[in-house]
Amino acid sequence: MDQVTDTAQMDLACQTIRESCESGQTIAFVSGNFNVVHPGHLRLLKFAAEQADVLVVGVNPDSTPGVTLTQDMRLENVRSIAFVHHVVRLETSASDFIAHLKPTVVVKGKEFEDRANPEQEAVDAYGGRLIFSSGELRFASLALLERDANIDISTVRKPQEFPKRHGFEISNLKDLLRKLSGMRVAVIGDLIVDEYVTCDAVGMSQEDPTIVVTPLMTRTFVGGAGAVAAHAHGLGADVKFFTLVGDDEAARFARNTLEQHGVNFNAFTDQSRPTTRKQRFRALNKTLLRVNHLRQHASDADLQRQMLTSVERALKTCDLLLFSCFNYGCLPQDLVDAIADRARAQGVMMAADSQVSSQTGDVSRFKGMTLLTPTEREARVALNDFISGLAVISERLVERARTKNLVITLGAEGALINTMAEGVFTSDRLPAFNPSPKDVSGAGDSFFMACSMGLRAGADIWQASYLGSLAAALQVSRVGNLPLTTAELVREIDETGFSQE
């Protein structure tokens, strides 16, 4: 559609839209910057499309605060969305365009509901409606669902456009991987022993509505922060791991396994808890039930002092400190603050991941990190905000946690990458590299480890996130949290499987 620069052109644009509508069809209008179309935008636009028959999207001019890409590029981004009917190049205010088009409904993100909205006066003038919603949190596009149904699950697909936008070649990641060798990494957090019980599905009980299975095989892996440590060693790092365990067989299994993987295992025995153990009962490549054996209370003051002393010694020869928290008691706030203070004093880079899949936690309590990698739910739990759009969630969490880089992982929708550099907040989105995973339990651990190590090796957040996404894609292609290796990543980098974003 032609550029809207004056009243005559605006009238012509609006007339063109109205003439394309069938008799009686309603119109919804949304406007914004749309630097990179991410899942938060898709949810908002999908919601708007459901409010009327025709969806019109206005793209703000380059002079608008927060714009980082040219208007032509942003127009193309929005035009690629199937349920958007018309895309308008705005060179005037959205309110002026609304007054000329007179759409049935105007939609804005929920975060604007309590602010002054000039669009309200425009819609009131002709009897339209202004609606505030950020869309459904669980929205997945039709294209994503179709891709899930048809993809070859053995193949990782690497996006091509993202590296082009950020000025690097995928092959550059091999040079980055070489820099990880010999990096001195300290990992502190909750150890988990994962048991996978493979079952034969017998059927449904005739006495009650219960699925009946027969166990066939049990495989045991080290998970949680232990998996982060093992992954780091697999990529060539010299790793020291600090954690809490119980006095039990699971702790002995974890020690033996991690030491075989080359990890320096520093465990502090807490007689008041078992080593955290999770059992997953699986049939036909699906998890039917997970049983957790754990205690979630914080470690006592004496154990915290012992851990602090041990970690403090390690920091003297450390390049990177990773907090891998599952909120099972290994990292109470006083201990986190004390360790972080000592790491800053030593000039050690820090990153944190705080998981709250079936428990409570707050990733923003890890202040001043170079990187945080929460899921969307974890980010929203930290802010107690389940309404605002992803862009608002990202900016608020960066501000609260005072982090340099924030990657919100979105499962099958990929990841939203955010960075604050010299006072400028920038975001971009990476789609999922492997949308048909066999086991997602290790995805976050492998992304967190690889992205953090990439940053410490000198990569920017864009290259580091790409490396992290590739590591996660490889990890979820198999069952169990087995350590990744540099050779596996190099082999995948050399593969020719690419995807369009």
- The pLDDT, as a whole number, for residue 3 is 45
Tell me, yes or no, whether 234 lies in a domain. yes
Q: At what angle do helices 249-260 and 225-234 cross, to 10 degrees?
A: 10
Whether residue 411 lies inside any domain: the answer is yes
Q: What is the mean pLDDT of each run of 10 residues along the chain (501 residues)?
A: 61 89 93 85 89 94 88 86 89 91 94 91 95 68 38 65 93 95 97 89 77 82 93 96 95 94 95 93 84 89 96 96 94 96 97 78 93 94 91 94 95 90 87 79 89 97 96 83 86 74 59
* CATH number, position 66: 3.40.50.620
Give the DSSP letter of residue 90.
Answer: B
Domain shared by 56 and 202, yes or no: no
The DSSP string of 361-386 is --GGGSTT-SEE--BHHHHHHHHT-S
Do 113 and 184 share a domain, yes or no?
no
Residues 412 and 313 in one domain: yes
pLDDT at residue 378 in the model = 93
Residues 167, 41, single domain; the answer is no
Shared domain for 109 and 169, answered yes or no, is: no
Which domain does 59 fall in, by range?
7-139
Decide: residue 12, CB within 10 A, 0-12 exposed, 13-18 middle, 19+ buried: middle
For residue 452, the domain's CATH number is 3.40.1190.20
Residues 72, 189 share a domain: no
Q: What is the pLDDT of residue 311?
A: 97
Domain stops at, among 139, 160, 189: 139
Q: Are residues 489 and 426 in the same domain?
A: yes
The pLDDT, as a whole number, for residue 498 is: 60
In whole angstroms, what is the distance from residue 223 CA to residue 482 CA? 9
In a domain, residue 207? The reply is yes
Please check whether residue 411 is in contact with residue 379, taking contact to mean a CB–CB distance below 8 angstroms.
no
375 and 428 assigned to the same domain: yes
pLDDT at 6: 65
Query: Structural domain tally of the chain?
Result: 2
User: Is there a single domain that holds both residue 275 and residue 362?
Assistant: yes
What's the pTM value of the predicted model, to 2 decimals?
Answer: 0.76
Is residue 299 situated within a structural domain? yes
Whether residues 60 and 199 share a domain: the answer is no
Q: What is the DSSP letter of 482?
A: P
Q: How far apart are CA 24 and CA 197, in angstroms?
A: 58
Indicate whether 95 and 219 sit together in one domain.
no
Q: Are both 201 and 168 inside the same structural domain?
A: yes
Q: How far is CA 19 from CA 22, 52, 94, 282, 300, in A?
A: 8, 16, 21, 56, 72
pLDDT of residue 358: 54
With respect to residue 1, please indicate whether it lies within any of the assigned structural domains. no
In a domain, 2, yes or no: no
